[in-house]
Structure formats: C-alpha cells, structure tokens
A and B are shown apart, each in its own frame.
Chain A
Amino acid sequence: MEIRVTVNGQQHTSDVEPRTLLVHYVREVLGLTGTNVGCDTSSCGACSLHVDGEAVKSCTMLAVQADGASVTTIEGMANADGSLHPMQQAFMENHGLQCGYCTPGMVMAATSLLKEIPNPTEEQVRLGLEGNLCRCTGYHNIVKAVLAAAGK
C-alpha cells in the first residue's frame, strides 16, 4: 500500500506491506536508525517517536496508520546547524544517559511530556516517563535533565 509520511520535515512516498511496523519503516526503509527497538512489546519505550507531535511507541503502530501524518524521530530533534535540541543538551549536561540505548526514546517521551505539561513537578516527570525503561537505572539524572530542560 502506498503511504505518504512527512518524517523530520521531509515528505516520503513509500509502498509498504500493511504489516510493516512504523519502527521498521523509519529504521529499514528510511534508514533512520536512531529510533531503537528494545522490548518490541510496547513496554520499554525505546522506540518512542512523535506522530503529529505526540509520543507513541512505534513498535505498536503500523506504518499505514501513519499515512498522512507528520513523524519526528530523534534525528529530527537537533537544529540544522548541528546544535542540540534543549532536551538533548539537558541530557548531556545532567549525565542523563549511560549506555544510551533508551536515550532516543527518553528524549522523545520527555519532549512530548513538556508540550503537555510545560512546567512539570518531579513527580509529573516520573509519571510522564513511566513508559520508558532505562536498564542502566539512571532515572535520577534523566529526571534531572527533563526538569532542567523545562526550566529553559
């Protein structure tokens, strides 16, 4: 089936099998491998990206469901001049990553959260990231990073 999707501002027209998952579409068809597959069961949040501005788990969405939508992946977060998105910068400054595997999903979930709650409490950040697991268990610095980004 032919789909038209805008990914990181660029429009793509692709022919996909209906069973193609959105995460496989962005990784394998578009070559945007910043979005990770972790659990593949909509638990860990590593595959989080934005569809029309809201974080979703792209392992639990079909590419055909994103037909006509605007998708943003981690590759679309930094500015054109290479400078980091404020959330990425805050993760760097607050040591919000260790192995880094969960980081793209964390950044996408956190930026979606700040759109809905621009000045969250620490508890709201922790609840807002309940769908993202960090196996390094670096949650304290991740929460610190999100609070720092909210303050900017």
Chain B
Amino acid sequence: MIPASFEYVRAGSAKEAISLIGEHGSDAKFLAGGHSLLPLMKLRLAQPSVLVDIARIKDLSYITDAGDHIAIGALTRHMDVENSPVLAQHAPLLAHAASHVGDPQVRHRGTIGGSIAHADPASDLPATTLALGATYVVTGPNGSRSIAASDFYKGFLESDLAEDEMLTEIRVPKMDGAGWSFQKFNRRAQDWAIVGVAAWRKNGSSGVALVNMGQTPVLARQVSQALASGASIADAAQLAAADADPSADNNASVEYRTHLAKVLVRRALEQASA
C-alpha cells in the first residue's frame, strides 16, 4: 500500500513548522514519527497534500524536572519516555504505559506528542496523561497556550488543536509516590487495548482514565468521586463505565467492554492501593 502523492517539506524549528503549516493550509499535516499518520495515509483514510516533517526539531525532544511537574518535549519518542530515569522517579505510570505502546520498532519512531495530537481513544498515552492531570502546551502563530488534558479531547481523532497550532510540550504533575497501575487488555501483545485503564491513588485523591471506551479517552470521574467519599474499591469499580460511551467493534460488544472496564478498574485500583 502506497500513500497518495504529497509534497514533503522539512521544518528546522517549531516556529518554521508553524509558519509552513500556516502557509500550506488545512490540507497540510505535521509528520513526527509517522506511526499514526502513515498507516492512515497508506489506507488512504488520510490524504494530506503537504507533509511538514517536524521530526528533526531536536530541541523538542527532552524530559526535564520542572519543579512540580515533569516537562516532556512533544517529539520525545516512546522509547525515551519508557527509559527515562526522571519519569521512573516522578511519573512511573507514564513511563510504564509508554512501554506498552505498540512494539519496540514502533517505540523507536513514535512520539508522545504525535500520539496525543492524534487523539486516538484506543491509544495508551492520551488516557494515561489524562489520568495524571497533565497539561498540554500548544504553540501557534500568536504564541503558546496551555490546555488541560481534560479539555483537549473533543471527539474521535479530534482535539482542541487549531489547524495552525502544534503540540510542543506535555506537562505531567509529579506523582509524589502515589500508587499506580496500568491495565491493558488485548489479544495479541502488540495490539491496541480492547479496554485499558491508567490509574493512580494517594490518600483521598485518585485519577482513573479509560482507553478505548468511547470517542475520546475517558476520565472516570465518578470512580474517583466514589473513592473520595469512602466507597470500597469494588463499589467504586462498578462506576467504571459511568462516564464512558463505548462502541462495539470486531473485538468487543458494548456489554463486554463495559464489563472489562469494571474488572480492569477494580484490578487497577487494587494494585494502586497495595
């Protein structure tokens, strides 16, 4: 399968990338690692007329301790997130979730920013950063703005990013020793999750987000509210799908997904509380 023809341009900086995408209009797309976009282009589900290659912008690949949060450059590859000592110490849930993205070959190329900007509800890192209460920094022709992960996802593969904006940084609050768990249920090792759960818990606070349980990654607010009100893990887990609107596909019916979410949220909370 070969993508439809397109024009290829390369950006040396974020500023240049934003200028190029503005110049080429709504038919242009950013190309980072390409592991979400190129498969869509090969299937001709996406046919951008211009690709702006941003993968060579080296100063957008970093993982930095920024005090109360860890700042991650959007072009940081999954493999570097997975192996980061800074994240292992301050946001181990994210490092662990990154190790479940695709397979090693995919993680050598794919980037955290690309995964989040693609806004696939079946991907691991959008939900994981949502559970962690991350903030995304996006940059456009008029400067940067911050968007809470909980405000970012608007629909299936749709985000709050404007056409001429680029995701440049992901800010993940430090977990401060919170218990955590990442549950991914699939049939083959490298597959997307049929249902996945990213969860953390510390004292009365918690964050629980669901993979592949709707048109966007889903924050299971009612689970956290129940836990904060003193509900048991088993009772809180019964609310796993209360904020979700799952669809059926070849892998699972709506009923099965709902059941899986309850089981996986219970397991995640048990592990995060242990």
User: Which residues of A are in contact with B by a Cβ distance under 8 Å?
Assistant: 1, 17-21, 24, 40-43, 45, 48, 51, 54-57, 60-62, 64-65, 109, 112-113, 116, 127-128, 130-132
Contact = CB atoms under 8 A, between A and B. Distances in A.
Interface string B74-114: 00000100000000000000000000001111101100000
A65 B105 contact: no
B34 A131 contact: no
A55 B106 CA distance: 9
A48 B7 CA distance: 26
Contacts of B145: none
B155 interface: no
B266 to A, nearest CB: 25
B38 interface: yes
A131 B105 contact: yes
B53 A64 contact: yes
Interface in B1-53: 1-8, 31, 34-35, 38-39, 42, 51, 53
Contacts of B7: 18
Given A61-B38, A131-B190, A18 B51 contact: yes
B105 A48 contact: yes
Chain A CB count within 10 A is highest, among B38, B53, B103, B190, for B103
B189 A130 contact: yes
Given A42-B35, A42-B39, A65 B103 contact: no
A97 B189 CA distance: 21
B190 A19 contact: no
Nearest to B41: A19
B53 A65 contact: yes
B104 A57 contact: no
Contacts of B55: 65
B12 to A, nearest CB: 13
Contacts of A60: 34-35, 38-39, 106, 109
B6 A42 contact: no
A61 B104 contact: no
B183 to A, nearest CB: 17
B102 to A, nearest CB: 7
Contacts of A19: 2-6
B190 to A, nearest CB: 5
Nearest to B191: A43
Given A57-B106, A60-B34, A60-B35, 4 more contacts: A43-B190, A130-B103, A131-B103, A131-B190
B35 A128 contact: no
